[in-house]
Chain A
Amino acid sequence: MIGWTDEQRTLRAAAAELGAAVGKDHLERDATGEFSRDGWALVRESGLLGLPFGTEYGGLGADLLTTMYVLEGLGEACRDGGFPFSVTTHVVSTGVPLHRFGSAELKARYLPGVCSGSAIGAHAISEPDAGSDMMAMRTTAVLDGDDYVLTGSKSFVSNGPIADTYLVYARTGKAGAPDAITTFLVERDSPGLHVGQPMGKMGLKTSPLSELFLDGVRVPATRVVGKVGAGFLVLDHVMKWEILLSFVVNLGEMEHRLRESVRYARTRKQFGAPIGSNQSVSNKLVDMRIGVETSRKWLYDTAEKLVARKNVTTDIAITKLVVSEANLASALAAVQVFGGYGYMTEYGVEKDVRNAVAGTIYSGTTEIQRQRVAAMMGLG
């Protein structure tokens, strides 16, 4: 078990305070699908957006485990599930790849905006005909003088409607080859870049998402992030961080949900006894607890392995699968424990089910994670 320092605990408490403030009007904003601009102003002030990045860029220079621990606190306190999703998307979509693969010039120019939150980040990988099979993407980038010209469309871009900077993955090589994809930094006001309308969705309604259309967008070759043809490797690095940072937020949410469900099961009486005294109810709570503990172990063990520079390709796939499925199971169980109140919108329990379904789809679906583990076992 990791022993957290006072400093780490203080950072987490600050994130929790922030999360509680942002989440205050979560039901109203979930109903209207509104991103919290006030929340973004608060998170900018807090310094949280620059947690894992170097102080020379305005970041806090925290390590991966500290960053996760603080984000877990945000998830535990923030009832607006879409908001932390936008926060982690911002951090991992632009900050993480720039920090690891960006040229000195790109880092100096763009990382301060990531850390301060003045330039919201997003990444565009999925396409109408290339979701799980991202290597089949059709968006092309063709070198023309000192620029690449990007043409194509992207289907689901989280933060798309509010972003200032997009990391767009496009094909520069032979379709399907591992060296076919390159990562480009594209500014929102680039001529030929069209951001679609926010798309309605089942959950995470307060985190806006849109399509992106690239119609001959010229991007200077200096804005390639990583090497030409290294987009798949850039994305692999991003996905490790995305899974750890985004799903540790879900761990915090599960912890909160478990606590509330136990409290309810101990106080809600039917047939003259607390509902939690029935084993069929307490079993659900025990399973929720197992989900929390298993998720915590997978998340932090995998992070420790990553920090120790071990190969985590299999671990990260298992972590993603375990935590996203545990979160969904926990959200469904909570609705059942709360009964009719769980099902009604105004109690805020059912919303978690809608949010949790998304986690089994983005960052690679549950099925694809199984495929990955199988591939790493030399199968398929």
Chain B
Amino acid sequence: MSRIDEITRYVVAEFAPDIRADELDADYDLLDNGVVDSLGLLRLIGWLGERYDLPVDDIDLAPEQFRSVRAVDAFVESALVKGPAL
């Protein structure tokens, strides 16, 4: 499974259980459309940090990075470039 598919599955399972993973467009605005709220954002960041071993505490976090599944995937990519958590 590709990373973007994995992220989509997580988002659907945790925040939009009424739809199927293939129904969530990778560019769908998760924040503006209320899929992920503020606490949801913390859960998502926590999951990403543990799942991909990301140094989330060293990154200048901004909600923009979590606006859509595609944005999240790009965030993971750039965070991985910075290196895994110590």
Q: Which residues of A contact B (CB under 8 A)?
A: 100-101, 135, 174, 176-179, 226-230, 232-233, 236, 309-311, 313, 372, 375-376, 378
Stretch at the interface among B18-26, B54-62, B74-82: B54-62
| B6 CB within 8 Å of chain A | no
Task: Kindly identify which residue among B36, B39, B45, B60 contacts A226, using a CB–CB cutoff of 8 Å.
Answer: B60
Tell me whether A311 and B41 are in contact in the complex, defined as CB-CB below 8 angstroms, given that A101-B60, A177-B31, A229-B63 are known contacts.
Answer: no
Find out whether the CB atom of A309 lies under 8 angstroms from the CB atom of B85.
yes
Neighbouring B residues of A372 by C-beta, 8 Å: 39
Neighbouring B residues of A232 by C-beta, 8 Å: 38, 41, 63
Task: Kindly identify which residue among A178, A313, A376, A378 contacts B36, using a CB–CB cutoff of 8 Å.
Answer: A178
Interface extent on B, as a size class?
Answer: 20 to 34
Neighbouring A residues of B86 by C-beta, 8 Å: 309
- B53 nearest in chain A by CB position: A309
Residue from B41, B47, B55 with most neighbouring chain A CB atoms (10 Å): B41
Neighbouring A residues of B43 by C-beta, 8 Å: 313, 375-376
Neighbouring B residues of A101 by C-beta, 8 Å: 60
Complex formed: what's the CA distance from A230 to B36 in Å?
Answer: 15
Complex formed: what's the CA distance from A179 to B37 in Å?
Answer: 9
Complex formed: what's the CA distance from A375 to B14 in Å?
Answer: 10
Neighbouring A residues of B16 by C-beta, 8 Å: none
| B32 CB within 8 Å of chain A | yes
Find out whether the CB atom of A229 lies under 8 angstroms from the CB atom of B56.
no
Residue from A179, A227, A313, A372 with most neighbouring chain B CB atoms (10 Å): A179
Find out whether the CB atom of A229 lies under 8 angstroms from the CB atom of B38.
no
Neighbouring B residues of A376 by C-beta, 8 Å: 39, 42-43, 46
Find out whether the CB atom of B46 lies under 8 angstroms from the CB atom of A233.
no
Tell me whether A230 and B63 are in contact in the complex, defined as CB-CB below 8 angstroms, given that A177-B32, A372-B39, A378-B14 are known contacts.
Answer: yes
